[in-house]
Every structure is written in C-alpha cells, then in structure tokens.
Amino acid sequence: MSANDLPRAGQQPNPNPTAADAVKDSAFLRACRREPVPHTPAWFMRQAGRSLPEYLKVREGIPMLDSCMRPDLVTEITLQPVRRHNVDAAIYFSDIVVPLKAIGIDLDIKPGVGPVVERPIRSRADLERLRDLTPEDVSYVSEAIGMLTGELGSTPLIGFAGAPFTLASYLVEGGPSRNHEHTKALMYGDPQLWADLLDRLSDITAAFLKVQIEAGASAVQLFDSWVGALSPADYRRSVMPASSKVFEAVSGYGVPRIHFGVGTGELLGLLGEAGADVVGVDWRVPLDEAARRVGPGKALQGNLDPAVLFSTRDAVEAKTDEVLAAANGLEGHIFNLGHGVLPTTDPDALTRLVEYVHTRTAR
C-alpha cells in the first residue's frame, strides 16, 4: 500500500464502493487521467446508431431529431452498443446540431445528407437568431442521462457537443460542405462577425456540455470534425479562442475533456493547447508521432482507420497491433477508430475488435 492509498485525516475508507466509485475507477476514466489501467479501454465514435440492426429497428419511422428528444429512445440506443460490444464507455446518443435546434434554429437532419439549415447564418442580423441555451431547452437530455446512468452501472457515459467551428460550418454553409467556402469567406472577410459568431456558439456549446455533466456524464468530447480544413495559423487566430472558452467553462467539474477532429495532423499540438485532457487522433498520424506533436501531460485517443474493418480478420488484427505498438509508452491511451464507425460496418467486427484490444493489452 502506498501513501496515496491511505485514508486522509477525517476520511473513512469506503467499505461499499458505489456505482459512482466504480465509474471513477473504470479503465476509461483511469486512462483519461493517465493512470495505470487493467487493459486499454476501447469505445468507438458513432458506436450507437447506423451500423446496428437493433438501432435501425427502434428508429423505424421516427425522424432523427425527434428520436434525440425522446429519453426512452435515447437511453435504449445509447445502451445498444454497450450490450453488444462490451465497450468501456457509452456515448450519449444525440447529434451535434441538437442544441441549435433547441434554441429554435430552423434546421433538420435529412436522411442520407445530414444537417440542413433552412436560412444560413451569414450576417449580423442572422447572428441575432442564435440565443443562449438554457437547461430547460434540453430538459430531455437531463432526463435521458438520469435514466442512463442508472442503467449503465460501472460503465462511464461520455457527453458530447460540436465545437464552435464545426457548428459554424453547418450554420454558414446551410448543410454539409466539402470545401467550407462560405465559412472561410466569412472568417476572412468579416473577422469581427466571425469572432462574435464563434463566441456565441462557444456559450451555447458550454451550456450544453454543462447540462450533460450536471446530469451525470463522466467525460465530455468536443467534436471539431471539420477543423482539419484550417491551417495552424488560422486555427490559432480564428477558432482556438472559442474552443478554449468551452474547455475552460467546464474545467471546474473535473471530468476529462476530449478534443477530436479529422485531418488534424498539423493541428494536434493546438488541439491539446486549447484545453483538452485527451486529444483524439485520426488514422493519418501514428500515435507515437502524435504524442510528440501534442507534448506531455495529455492522453491520446485513437486511431484505427474505420475502413480497415472491411478487411480480413487477420488484417484487422495486424493493423490493430500497429496502433497498440505505437501507443506503447504513451501516458494514457484510449483505443478508438480514427473517425466514426462507417454505416455498413459489420457489427461483429467491432465486437471482435474490442475483445482483441482487451486481450492484447491485459496487464
């Protein structure tokens, strides 16, 4: 027993560890805190939803955004991959545009397309339509998380939100975009309006994450999926202040903060600097190199190419071994894909992958 294991003065040893203690001591949260783990924890971005037949069944006839507002459905869908794959964390079932819908933005999620905004936000007058988010706007989120934490037992729940840049991209473009041309036009052409837009979005995002943490989420992930479209200089000048504000706003809760983007090889150091405890890495940069770019004091999450899961079992295992070898010696590693599970992935390949990671890394 080390000095750290001894109860401090006035503190009694806990004879009955509760579910909350078990969550705190889970492999996932231990890895986020860069503590020793019994095995490398694994979960998958977009593990709920589209790849699971049981998901498609419960969603039948229910529009995506409606399903996000129904605590019974959210609870069921969030639990499905936990039951099936034995992942080390659940991720709250929702979408990054849910808080925008909740404050009255006229958007919808179109099947096969993604979020579509009726009237894009491109002027100062448009910005006025983005009001603050209150907990009452998303009471179904608190309700669902209350139900979920009861059901999850010792499995931690990750809350999430879209980062200001990625949300701005949907709002300014009016929908999914390859080149983000309207977004960049605004960013370069009217820096003050851009800064005000991102600042407004950072407040909405922070409020949304606070609701999830206060309801019981034990970690949060900020998805800046499309930020890889920017150079480091533009990121630092035009985006980082808003993302940092979000991380700062939730720093007092002591829950790990994960920061993820795609195509961010040149931005990895800045993603950490923005205030994350864990940096998510896509498959383009090996984790040992990512650790050098991020620097000490952060855990890393990643980074198997999601397309590898379409290959043979031997190939999946060989590519997984490469990820685990590159992760060997990191301060903390959470196994994940380099981006979300692709819709036509064989769910059994995911189940096997979790088991493989657990077996290969059992200590």
Active site residues: 46, 50, 59, 95, 170
Which range of residues in 26-34, 45-53, 242-250, 266-274 is near ligand 1CP by CB under 6 A?
A: 45-53
Shortest Cβ 82–ligand 1CP spacing (Å):
11
What letter does residue 100 receive in the DSSP assignment?
H
What's the rounded Cα separation, in Å, for the pair 210 and 137?
13
Q: Could you say whether residue 47 binds ligand 1CP (CB under 6 A)?
A: yes
Shortest Cβ 363–ligand 1CP spacing (Å):
28
Q: Could you say whether residue 160 binds ligand 1CP (CB under 6 A)?
A: yes
What's the rounded Cα separation, in Å, for the pair 35 and 29?
9
8 Å CB contact between 295 and 269: yes
146, 150, 176, 265: which one binds ligand 1CP (CB under 6 A): 176
Sole residue written with tokens 């001894």: 6
- Provide the β-strand partners of residue 117: 107
The H or E element containing residue 259 is: strand 257-260
Q: Could you say whether residue 48 binds ligand 1CP (CB under 6 A)?
A: yes
Shortest Cβ 92–ligand 1CP spacing (Å):
7
Sheet of 257-260: strand order equals: 90-91, 157-162, 219-223, 257-260, 278-280, 299-304, 333-337
Taking the least distance from each CB to ligand 1CP, the nearer of 104 and 176 is: 176
Which range of residues in 111-119, 149-157, 238-246, 351-359 is near ligand 1CP by CB under 6 A?
A: 111-119
Taking the least distance from each CB to ligand 1CP, the nearer of 47 and 361 is: 47
Q: Which residues, 6 or more positions from 34, have their beta carbon under 8 angstroms from its beta carbon?
A: 297, 299, 331, 332
Shortest Cβ 123–ligand 1CP spacing (Å):
23
What is the rounded radius of gyration, in angstroms, for the C-alpha atoms of the chain? 20
Q: Which residues, 6 or more positions from 60, have their beta carbon under 8 angstroms from its beta carbon?
A: none
Taking the least distance from each CB to ligand 1CP, the nearer of 238 and 345 is: 345
What's the rounded Cα separation, in Å, for the pair 363 and 346?
29
Sole residue written with tokens 């990671």: 357
The two three-digit tokens of residue 215, written as one number? 């309801």
3-state DSSP helix/strand/coil % of the chain, to nearest 5: 50, 10, 35
Sole residue written with tokens 């706003």: 249
Helices and strands (H and E) in the chain: how many: 17, 9
Question: Coil, strand, or helix at residue 109?
Answer: strand
99, 115, 159, 256: which one binds ligand 1CP (CB under 6 A): 115
Q: Could you say whether residue 209 binds ligand 1CP (CB under 6 A)?
A: no
What's the rounded Cα separation, in Å, for the pair 228 and 146?
35
Which range of residues in 1-9, 109-117, 143-151, 285-293 is near ligand 1CP by CB under 6 A?
A: 109-117
23, 29, 52, 64: which one binds ligand 1CP (CB under 6 A): 64
> How many degrees, rounded to 5, is the angle at CA 158 between CA 154 and CA 159?
135
Q: Could you say whether residue 96 binds ligand 1CP (CB under 6 A)?
A: yes
Taking the least distance from each CB to ligand 1CP, the nearer of 90 and 287 is: 90
10, 36, 111, 189: which one binds ligand 1CP (CB under 6 A): 111
Which range of residues in 46-54, 127-135, 185-193, 316-324 is near ligand 1CP by CB under 6 A?
A: 46-54
Which range of residues in 29-37, 42-50, 228-236, 317-325 is near ligand 1CP by CB under 6 A?
A: 42-50
Sole residue written with tokens 């294991």: 5
Q: Could you say whether residue 90 binds ligand 1CP (CB under 6 A)?
A: no
Contact mark string toward ligand 1CP, 225..264, x via CB under 6 A? x---------------------------------------
Q: Could you say whether residue 222 binds ligand 1CP (CB under 6 A)?
A: no
- Binding positions for ligand 1CP, rule: CB under 6 A: 46-50, 64, 91, 93, 95-96, 109, 111, 114-115, 160, 166, 176, 223, 225, 340
